[in-house]
Amino acid sequence: MQEEIMRMLLEIRPEINFRGSSDFIEDGLLDSLDVISLVSKLEEKYGIEIDGMEIVPENFCGIKQIEKLVISHKA
C-alpha cells in the first residue's frame, strides 16, 4: 500500500522527493489542495470515505500516517 500511496503523491507533485522528508506538511511538500487531491485518489482507489474532520496535518505528514488512515477506514 505504501508504494501505491507514493505513486499517488508523485502524480500530484511529480517534482517532489517525498522519500527525503520526515514530514510532508511541515516541509511544505503538500499544501491543502494537494491533500484534497490525495484524499480523492485514496477514496477512489480504496473505496473508502474520509471524513472532513480527519483531514488534518497529522494524518498526511508521512506515508505511514496516510497508510494508517486508509487502513482504519478499510476495517
pLDDT of residue 74: 82
Report whether 5 contacts 35 (CB < 8 A): no
pLDDT of residue 56: 95
Fold of 2-74: 1.10.1200
Q: For the whole model, what pTM was predicted? A: 0.91
C-alpha cell at 53: 474532520
Assign residue 33 a region (left: φ > 0; alpha: ψ between -120 and 50; beta: otherwise). alpha
Rounded mean pLDDT, 52-61:
95
The secondary structure of the chain in percent helix, strand, coil, rounded to multiples of 5, reads 65, 0, 35
